[in-house]
Structure 1
Amino acid sequence: MNLSSQLHETAKARANKPAYYFMGGSSSYAELDGAITKFASGLEKLGVRQGDHIGLLLGNSPHFIISLYGALRVGATVIPINPIYTADEIGYILNNGDVKVVVALDIAVPLAEKMHSFLPQVEYFVICETGQFEMDRISVNPKMKSFTNLVASGDLSFNGPELQNDDVALILYTSGTTGKPKGAMLTHKNLYSNAKDVGDYLKINDQDRVITALPMFHVFCLTVALNAPLMNGATMLIVPKFSPKEIFGLGIEYKPTVFAGVPTMYNFLFQYPEGKPEDLQTLRLCISGGASMPVALLKNFEKKFNVVVSEGYGLSEASPVTCFNPLDRPRKPGSIGTSILHVENKIVNEVGVEVPVGEVGELIVRGPNVMKGYYKMPEESSATIREEWLYTGDLAKVDADGYFYIVDRKKDLILVGGYNVYPREVEEVLYNHPDVIEVAVLGVPDPNQGEAVKSYVVSKNPELTVEYLFEYCKEHLAKYKIPSSIEFLKELPKNTTGKILRRALKELVTEPVNK
C-alpha cells in the first residue's frame, strides 16, 4: 500500500464525504480522486515516466494536493519547494534535483520565463490558474502548459505503474543551515508508514476536521495535516496562509477538531486580542512540532482554550515524526513524548553507546520512516545513517517513563568557560516573565570565556528594561548561564513555518551589554 492507492480506497469508501474546504469551495473524496487520476494521466501524456522528478512551487491549495498525489500516481518523485524562495534558491533545487516538470502558480510565470534558459533539464512548466495573472502569455510558450487543460485532457481510466515500497516518492530539501540544502529521499514506505502510524497514534478519523494551516511543502504539514487526514477519511480545512483571524473564523464556521502548528502559531493565537476560547471549543486535540514549545506558553494556551496540546518531534529525514505525547497517558509539559508505534528513539554518547536515563546525549532514530539517504550525497548519507540508525544532531535526554526531552540542537550548544549552556534552558526562564512574548538565545564569541550567551527578546511592555531582565535572570539561572547581553527586537526573524531563524539573528550580533 502507498499514499496514492490508499487515497483511492478512501475515495471508494467515502465517495461523497468532503475531502477539503478551501476559500468557500469544497471537494468530495470522489471528485478529488478523479482529479488526481486525470492529472496523472495528463502528466503521462506530457512524457512523464516512472522515476522522473516533478517540482512543486505551490502554496496551500487543492492544486498542491492534486499535483502531489497525481505525480505519485504516475510513479514520479515529487520535490516540494517553498514558492517564496529566491530565483537562485529555486534554481539550485531544480538543478540539483534533476527536475523535469515544474508545477507552479500563475504568479510564478515571470519567474519561470526568467529561469527557463538556465534550466535546460526542465521540459515543462505546468501553470495553475488563480486569476492573478494573464494566462495568454503561456499559450505562446511551448514549455508552459495549463493545469486546468492538463487535468481536462486526462483519462479517468488511467492506471499508473506498480509502485515499489523502496521507490523514492519525495525529495525534501532541508533548510541548509550550513552550506547548500540537502535533499532527503523519502520512499513510498517511509511516507505511508509515518502517515499511518501518526494517524493511529492521534486517533484521526473520518469525523475529524483538521485545520491545514502549516505550509504543505513542509514535511510536518505533509504527514500530520495532509496525508494522515486523507488516509483516514477526515476533512481538511485548508488555510492559504496562517493568520489568527482566519483560524478563529474557521473555528466558528466549520467546528474544527484538530489543529497542528508550530509554537509561534500558538503564541499568535494566544496573544490575539479578538480570539475567544469559545470560538475553538470544538478542538479535541492540538499538535505542536517544528521547534520546542516553551512550557509557559503551553500551559497558558491550554488554560485559556481548555484543550490539550500534544507536543511531538520529527525531522525531514524521518518523514518526519518519531515521538508524540500519548493521548492515553499523562502528557508531560516540556517533553516531546514517547516513541510512536514502529519507531525507536534512543540517546547515545559520542561513540554511539546508549547513555543512562536522565543523561544528555544525541538523539538517534530507527524505523520504517527513516529516509533512504541524501540525493547524490553518499558521504553525507553514510555519516547520518549508521547501521540503520539516523543521527539527528539533536541533544536530548529520556526519563524513566520513556518520555524524551529535546535539550537543544547539537550545533546550538553554547560553551561558556568550559560549561555547557543549552539555549532552551535560558529561553524557558525568560518566557516565564509575564511581559515577554518571544525569546531566542544563541552563543556569541567572547575573548575571555570562548562564548557568551546573548538573548533577543520581544516584549509587550515598552517599560521593560534590559537591566530588569538581567536581575530576573540572576534569580533563576546559574551565573555562567546568565546572558551577557540582551537586545529587544520588534519581532524575531522566522521562516515560512514560523520557526525562529537563529542564523539570521547571528547576523545581528552587536557589542554585548555588560551585566
Structure 2
Amino acid sequence: MNLTSQLHETAKNSAEKIAYYFMGKSSTYAELDAAITKFASGLEKLGVKQGDHIALLLGNSPHFVISLYGALRLGATVIPVNPIYTQDEIGYILNNGDVKVVVGLDMMIPLAEKVHTHLPKVEHFIICETDQKGLEQPGVENLSVYSKMKSFTDTVASGDITFKGPELQDDDNAIILYTSGTTGKPKGAMLTHKNLYSNAKDIGDYLKMNSDDKVITVLPMFHVFCLTVALNAPLLSGASLLIEPKFSPKEIFRITKEYKATVFAGVPTMYNFLYQFPESNPEDLQSLRLCISGGASLPVALLKNFEQKFNVLISEGYGLSEASPVTCFNPLDRPRKAGSIGTSILNVENKVVNELGEEVPVGEVGELIVRGPNVMKGYYKMPEETAATIRDGWLYTGDMARMDEQGYFYIVDRKKDLVIVGGYNVYPREVEEVIYNHPDIVEVAVLGIPDPNQGEAVAAYVVSKNPDVTAEQLLAYCKEHLAKYKVPTTIEFLEELPKNTTGKILRRALKKQVTQQV
C-alpha cells in the first residue's frame, strides 16, 4: 500500500466524505481522487514518465494536494520547494534535482521568464491560475518559455478518468526533500513510498486520527512536518483537512469555532502568537482534542501557559526530513512530560549514543540516532554525505539528547549549536528555557560568541513585551537560575528574531545578522 492508492480506496469506500475545506469551498474524497487521477493522466500526456522529477512551487492549496498525489500516482518523484525562495535558491534545487516539470502559481511566470534558459532540463511549467486571465497575461514576451507553459486546469481537463498508473514499488523514490542548507548547499533527502506511507500511518495511529477528525492544515505543505502530520496522516485516516494558505491567529480561532476543528499542528512560534493574541478567549479552542507541536523545541513555560489558558493538551514530538520525519511523540495513553519529545513511535527505534556509536547510560547526553521504515534511502547524488549520516542502518540526527528511565527523550540542543565556555558545555536551549520563564519575554535565542579568555561566551537575543525591562534585570534573573558559566555575558533586545517559513527561529541567520552589525 502507498499514499495515493490508499486515498483511492478511501474515495471508493467513503465517496461523499469531505476531504478538504479551502476558502469557503469543499471537496469530497471522490472529487479529489478524480482530480488526482486526471492530473496524473494529463502529466503522462505531456510526456512525463515514471521516475521523472516534478517540482512544486506552491503554497497551501488544493493545487498542492492534487499535484502531489497526482504525480505520485504516475510514479513520478515530487520535489516540494518553498515558493518564496530566491531565484538562485530555486535554480539550484531545480538543477540539482534534475527537474523535468515545475508546477507553480501564475506569479511564477516572471521567474520562469528570467531563469528558464538556465534550466535546460525543465520541459514544462504548469501554471495554477489565480485569476480568470489564465496564461494570457502581459509580460509573457519570451516565446520559448511561453511554449513550455501549460495551464493546470487544462492539464487536469485533458486527463483520462480511467487512468490506472504503473505499479509502484516500496523502494521507489516518492519525494526528494531539500534540507534548509544551514551547513552548506541544500541536500536532497530521498524518501520512498514506504518511508512516507509508514510514517504517515504510524503517526496517525499513534495520535488516534480518524475519519471524524478535522485537522487544521496551516503549516507549509512543502515542509515535511505538515506533509506527514497535517496532510498525509489525516488523508490516510479519512479525516478532513481545513486548509489555510497562511497563519493568522484570528483566522485559526475563527475556523476552529466555525468548523469545530479537532486537531491543530503548529510550531512553537504559532503557539506563542495564539497565546499572546489579545482577542482570544479560553473557549475559542474548546473543540480541539489535541494540539501537536514540532519543528523546534517548545519552551516549557509557553506549553504550560497555553494549556492552562485554553484547556487543551499539547503533544510535543520530534522529527527530521531524513526520517519522513517523525521518530518520537508524547503518547496519548500515558502521562505527557513537559519538555520531552516523548517516546519512540510505532515501528521506530531511537537511542542516544556517544562519539563511538555506543549507547550511553540513562540520563546522559549524547547524539540521538534513529532507525525504522521511515529512514530515507539517502541524499540525492551525494553518496559520501549519505554514508556519513546513515551508519549500520542508523540515521545520525546531529541532535544532542538524553533519555529518562521511562523511555522519554529530551532534546538538549543541536550538536553544532553547542557553546563551550572554558571547557564547559552550555546547551542554548537550557538558557533559553530560563529566559522564557521571565514574564516579560516573548522570544529568545541564545548563541555562542567568540571570547578571548573562555573560547566562547553565551549571548542572548530577546524580544520583550515590556519596553522598561533592562538587560541588567534579565542578567540578574539568569544569575538566580543558572550556573555562572551558563549566564549570558551579552543580552541584546531585538524587535523580532529571524525565522523560516514554518516559524522556526534561525540561529545561524541571527548569528550572521549580529556579525554584520558589529
- TM-score higher than 0.5: yes
Answering whether residue 346 of structure 2 is matched by residue 341 of structure 1, we say yes
List aligned pairs for 1:297-336, cutoff 5 A.
Answer: 297-336=302-341
Aligned residue in 2 for 1:362: 367
Aligned length: 513
Q: Secondary structure at the match of 1:9?
A: helix
- Native 8 Å contact 1:344 1:365 kept in 2: yes
- Native 8 Å contact 1:165 1:187 kept in 2: yes
Per-residue CA shift, 1:312-357, capped at 9, x if unaligned?
A: 0000000000000000000000000000000000000000000000
Shift of 1:403: 0.1
Answering whether residue 487 of structure 2 is matched by residue 476 of structure 1, we say no
Question: What is the alpha-carbon distance in structure 1 between the residues aligned to residue 495 and residue 133 of structure 2?
Answer: 34
Letter in 2 for 1:379: E
Question: What is the alpha-carbon distance in structure 2 between the residues aligned to residue 93 and residue 19 of structure 1?
Answer: 31
Letter in 2 for 1:14: S
Shift of 1:512: 12
Letter in 1 for 2:169: Q
Per-residue CA shift, 1:40-76, capped at 9, x if unaligned?
A: 0000000000000000000000000000000000000
Answering whether residue 175 of structure 2 is matched by residue 187 of structure 1, we say no
- Native 8 Å contact 2:207 2:332 kept in 1: yes
Q: Secondary structure at the match of 2:514?
A: coil
Letter in 1 for 2:362: V
Name the Cα RMSD after superposition.
Answer: 1.3
Q: Secondary structure at the match of 2:513?
A: coil
Question: What is the alpha-carbon distance in structure 1 between the residues aligned to residue 348 and residue 409 of structure 2?
Answer: 13
Question: What is the alpha-carbon distance in structure 1 between the residues aligned to residue 305 and residue 154 of structure 2?
Answer: 50
Query: 2:250 is matched with which residue: 245, 249, 254?
Result: 245
Shift of 1:262: 0.3
Aligned residue in 2 for 1:161: 166
Aligned residue in 2 for 1:172: 177
Query: 2:399 is matched with which residue: 386, 394, 398?
Result: 394
Aligned residue in 2 for 1:224: 229
- Native 8 Å contact 1:342 1:367 kept in 2: yes
Q: Secondary structure at the match of 1:383?
A: helix
Aligned residue in 2 for 1:507: 512
- Native 8 Å contact 2:257 2:287 kept in 1: no
Shift of 1:133: 6.6
Question: What is the alpha-carbon distance in structure 2 between the residues aligned to residue 24 and residue 5 of structure 1?
Answer: 28
Shift of 1:148: 0.1
Shift of 1:511: 11
Aligned residue in 2 for 1:428: 433
Answering whether residue 474 of structure 2 is matched by residue 463 of structure 1, we say no
Shift of 1:131: 1.3
Aligned residue in 2 for 1:32: 32
Question: What is the alpha-carbon distance in structure 2 between the residues aligned to residue 231 and residue 360 of structure 1?
Answer: 36
Per-residue CA shift, 1:283-333, capped at 9, x if unaligned?
A: 000000000000000000000010000000000000000000000000000
Percent of aligned positions with the same letter in both sequences?
80
Shift of 1:118: 0.6
Question: Which segments of 5 or more consecutive residues in structure 1 lack a partner in the other structure?
Answer: none
Letter in 1 for 2:372: G
Shift of 1:508: 3.0
Aligned residue in 1 for 2:61: 61
Answering whether residue 437 of structure 2 is matched by residue 437 of structure 1, we say no
Q: Secondary structure at the match of 1:509?
A: helix
Query: 1:142 is matched with which residue: 129, 147, 171?
Result: 147
Q: Secondary structure at the match of 2:95?
A: helix
- Native 8 Å contact 1:289 1:312 kept in 2: yes
Aligned residue in 2 for 1:104: 104
Per-residue CA shift, 1:61-118, capped at 9, x if unaligned?
A: 0000000000000000000000000010000000000000000001111101111111
Question: What is the alpha-carbon distance in structure 1 between the residues aligned to residue 24 and residue 213 of structure 2?
Answer: 19
Q: Secondary structure at the match of 1:507?
A: helix
- Native 8 Å contact 1:106 1:133 kept in 2: no
Query: 2:264 is matched with which residue: 259, 263, 288?
Result: 259
Q: Secondary structure at the match of 1:292?
A: coil
Aligned residue in 1 for 2:77: 77
Instruction: Return the TM-score normalized by structure 1.
Output: 0.98
Shift of 1:252: 1.8
- Native 8 Å contact 2:285 2:312 kept in 1: no
Query: 1:285 is matched with which residue: 286, 290, 293?
Result: 290
Question: What is the alpha-carbon distance in structure 2 between the residues aligned to residue 512 and residue 62 of structure 1?
Answer: 42
Query: 1:236 is matched with which residue: 236, 241, 245?
Result: 241
- Native 8 Å contact 1:444 1:509 kept in 2: no
Shift of 1:509: 2.7
Question: What is the alpha-carbon distance in structure 1 between the residues aligned to residue 203 and residue 315 of structure 2?
Answer: 12
Question: What is the alpha-carbon distance in structure 2 between the residues aligned to residue 501 and residue 436 of structure 1?
Answer: 18
Per-residue CA shift, 1:141-183, capped at 9, x if unaligned?
A: 2100000000000000001000000000000000000110000
Question: What is the alpha-carbon distance in structure 1 between the residues aligned to residue 31 and residue 280 of structure 2?
Answer: 34
- Native 8 Å contact 1:106 1:132 kept in 2: no
Aligned residue in 2 for 1:14: 14
